[in-house]
Structure 1
Amino acid sequence: MASFRFIHTADLHLDSPFKGLRHLPKQIVSEIYESTFRSFDRIVEYCIEKEVDFLLIAGDVYDLEVQSLRAQIYLKRSLEKLNQHGIHTFIIHGNHDPIDQQKAQIKWPERVHFFSGDRVEGISFLKENKEIARIVGRSYPMKAFMENIVKDYHRQNPNLFHIGLLHTNVDGQQNHDPYCPSRLQELISGEMDYWALGHIHKQMILHRGPYVIYPGNPQGRHIQETGDKGCYYVEVVDNEVQSIQWLSTAQIRWETIELDISQITTIDDLINLIEMEIEERLIQIKRPMLTRVILKGQTSLHILINEEDQRKEIEEVLNVHLIEQQPWAWIETIQAGTQPPISIEKIGEQGSFLADYLSQIEHFFKKMDTETIKKEILSELFRHRGIKKHFSSLTNEDMEEIKNQIINYAYEYLLGKE
């Protein structure tokens, strides 16, 4: 009975610069910068603890095209540990660390294999001198690699379990570069038993039988990468996936916390509520946490909370305390998503200038759907490549949020001056 075990990870982004965090206290900045290394340390520990046969890394080992020497030496030493335990490592390069970029001349351990950027290749995996699996893969030859290469992933032996190692954007995932595009249906109908994917920083099992899996990145790097992060541990018996287990690796968690403050009437109660919610979250996750707090609900504190200086002061008061906790927390920002205490409907009944203005806003958004607004009003913005990338995915929910912000600004300006 042929059996083997492996761990599937991707998007390590070793030595990530964590831009925009230099203003944080020194005692946590170094911990944040080290987090990508420590998360991979945990993966190495898992490999040894679970006695896996090999480790798969599906691209973006490093964070920059010009990879730091520190990251390369660190990776070599980590893989040497695995090599000493008889564990193989199979690696492809992605858009952040393509083959054509500068690397140090390093002699890698004998059980480490980097896939070529020239073509798709298949590597045999032998256990007790018997071939039991094939790992098929290709690295990015350049950063902007736009070719669909799924058709080149061939089953080379019908009696072996085949793993496809691929750094790809499946079905045009929004907010991700469209490099090495593929379609889920072509992966399913392809010749692999397990597609070990990378590129999308979100844990997703897209299909089972064959398995098509994104493990996400092992360490979140900004507020868009919230929640737990990790890798997959897979057991294969007689060419069938016997079990799949999610393993947590994140050393620091990014979290978004939404709070309804409809019943809060004083600033000190607001501070206490935020503090309590964050401390409860720390107990649950047992990890340091960088968080964004979003305040919601109709409240008498609406105008005050919508003043940025006031929110900054609240952040400072809270962070002085939260940074001393074990594990620590830090509020990245407090955002205002509240509404005025008087309903829009009641304002409309007053027959005032504000009521007329709000009526015009409602009429506009009812008349213009999201796509029409994009084409007729935001067309100039959409000609800018950077803006288009972020705004092309605007949804009806996003437009509703924009409408609410316009209403809130009108309320603050016209009634907040009284």
Structure 2
Amino acid sequence: MGVSFRFIHAADLHVDSPFRGLTEVPPHVREGLGSSTFQAVRHLVEAALREAVDFVVISGDLYDMADRSLRAQLALQREWQKLHAQGVRLFVIHGNHDPLSGAQANLEWPSSVHFFGADQVEAVPVFARNGELAAHVHGISYGTRAVTANLASRYKPAADGSYQIALLHGTVDGHAGHDPYAPCSLAELVGAGFHYWALGHIHQRAVLHSYPHVVYAGNTQGRHANETGAKGCYLVDVSDSFETKLQFLPLDTIRWATLHVSIAGITSEQALLSAMEQAVTSAAAASEGRSLMIKLRLEGRGPMHRVFTNAGVITELLGGLRERIGDMDSSAAYIPGAQWSWIYRLEAATGADLDLEALSVEDSFTGELIRNSNNVQADEQALQQLLDEALQSLNGNARIRKMIRVMQTERAAGWFVQARELAAGMLTEDMDGQSVSLPEQDAEQGGERK
């Protein structure tokens, strides 16, 4: 029989992370983004003290860069001292963004903070507030940025009957969009003899397995458009019989969101603006007081689709919507911490007010176009051949060729559908000579590998 205790599992703080690819951002939004990762650390410490935890574990990437900023280091030192003053221990491993090889200031850290080294997996006993042995915490840090070895295979639980916690910054069974650092399998972790794997590196929180628990805490603050939704940490309660309960605690101050607005039934710009404004207002009301970075995506079919074939209209709609939303939360520019909403992108993925299924069976040029395009879309090889032929004249330039490869991977299917929509629309209705513009490559994708 063990002893009951409580701890917090956090990961991927990325303190002082830069926010790239955003333009036309007003000062209060830029300031809020710049301070958000620091605020998340403060909220982490406040949560640890409020919930009276016995200790905190952080599974890598405290900083955003190997050569960590002095501001970020001083911020963590200040917050960790608050935990130390209340007797809360902290166990930390470093990951691929903040390996031990990176430059760091010569600072004095509280004795209650334990940083795991990179030479071998270390096991450290941790005691509950009543002085009884609660658990062993195991961990190993990255010595360099790119660790491709299976670190999980080095972890061995202590054979003393206590609760065993393993801190690991790595990739379980692969993950799209993330470098495969410290790769391992879920089956391997489940069978390793630990009670709780406290994982870092993947920024989307997830409980991969229960009993034993294999858990990604996710990052503490979303940093770009691909990191949507609430971000924070897990509060973990362990009973004297090792029953383990998890509770998610949000720590973020700014949330990234993609809002979907249908144009079905909308016949005027005024009605469209009202629908978009309502979507933003509803999202803000449901964000638990957090500020929002919003991408608005117009979808569905309707007569307003004709308007969106002019890229200038999208730009003007975005400007008008920003003004309307800005009037609602203008106080945010003057009151620190006030909630605000910023629409950083408006994109249209709409279709003409057409019944493509009905048109596809017509004995007409339009019907033939739709049938042939459906066949090509269903055949990946045929679609790629069509794109290669269309872009042949541009592939002679090496720089443009590289850009095309990226754009083809991310946008090919979407562009093909748009082209079919435009062609069908032009054949079935008068387009009034309006020009056609395809959407630009997203600038807010984040840019870096995790």
Q: Give TM-score, length-normalised by structure 2.
A: 0.84
Letter matched to residue 321 of structure 1: R
Task: Say if 2:374 is the partner of 1:362.
Answer: yes
Change (3 A) 1:308 1:390: closer
Q: CA offsets, 1:30-59, max 9 Å, x none?
A: 011101111111110010011111111111
Q: 2:263 aligns with which of 253, 261, 264?
A: 261
2:25 and 2:284 map into 1 onto residues whose CA distance is 19
2:109 and 2:67 map into 1 onto residues whose CA distance is 19
Q: 1:295 aligns with which of 283, 286, 298?
A: 298
2:300 and 2:365 map into 1 onto residues whose CA distance is 25
2:196 and 2:406 map into 1 onto residues whose CA distance is 31
Unaligned runs of 5+ in 1: none
CA contact (8 A) 2:121 2:155 kept: yes
**Residue 94 of structure 1: CA displacement?**
0.7
Asked which structure has the greater RCO (Cα within 8 Å, sep 6+), the reply is: 2
Change (3 A) 1:385 1:11: farther
Change (3 A) 1:374 1:197: farther
Q: CA offsets, 1:360-397, max 9 Å, x none?
A: 2122123x147x8679978x99xx999989987x7xxx
**Residue 123 of structure 1: CA displacement?**
1.0
Q: CA offsets, 1:264-319, max 9 Å, x none?
A: 01001000000011101111112211111111111111121233221111111111
1:179 and 1:74 map into 2 onto residues whose CA distance is 27
SS in 2 for 1:182: coil
1:308 is matched with: 311
**Residue 328 of structure 1: CA displacement?**
1.4
CA contact (8 A) 2:29 2:342 kept: no
Q: 1:163 aligns with which of 162, 165, 183?
A: 165
SS in 1 for 2:157: coil
Instruction: Give runs of aligned pairs for residues 89-108 of structure 1, distance below 5 A.
Output: 89-108=90-109
1:27 is matched with: 28
Unaligned runs of 5+ in 2: 330-338, 389-394, 434-450
SS in 1 for 2:74: helix
Letter matched to residue 251 of structure 1: T
CA contact (8 A) 1:21 1:29 kept: no
> Between Structure 1 and Structure 2, how many residues are aligned?
409
Percent identity, please.
Answer: 34
2:405 and 2:93 map into 1 onto residues whose CA distance is 30
Change (3 A) 1:412 1:59: farther
Instruction: Give runs of aligned pairs for residues 276-355 of structure 1, distance below 5 A.
Output: 276-285=278-287, 286-326=289-329, 327-348=339-360, 353-355=365-367
SS in 2 for 1:124: strand
Change (3 A) 1:402 1:324: same
Task: Say if 2:126 is the partner of 1:111.
Answer: no
1:389 and 1:101 map into 2 onto residues whose CA distance is 31
CA contact (8 A) 2:148 2:181 kept: yes
Task: Say if 2:4 is the partner of 1:3.
Answer: yes
Q: CA RMSD in A?
A: 2.6
1:400 and 1:21 map into 2 onto residues whose CA distance is 26
1:197 is matched with: 199
SS in 1 for 2:418: helix
Q: CA offsets, 1:112-151, max 9 Å, x none?
A: 0111111211111123443321110111111111011111
1:136 is matched with: 138
Letter matched to residue 135 of structure 1: V
Change (3 A) 1:357 1:391: closer
SS in 1 for 2:328: coil
2:448 is matched with: none
**Residue 22 of structure 1: CA displacement?**
4.9
Letter matched to residue 257 of structure 1: L
2:303 and 2:348 map into 1 onto residues whose CA distance is 13
2:436 is matched with: none
Change (3 A) 1:210 1:389: farther
1:71 is matched with: 72
1:217 is matched with: 219
1:78 and 1:170 map into 2 onto residues whose CA distance is 31
**Bigger mean CA deviation after superposition, 207-216 or 131-140:** 131-140
**Residue 84 of structure 1: CA displacement?**
0.4
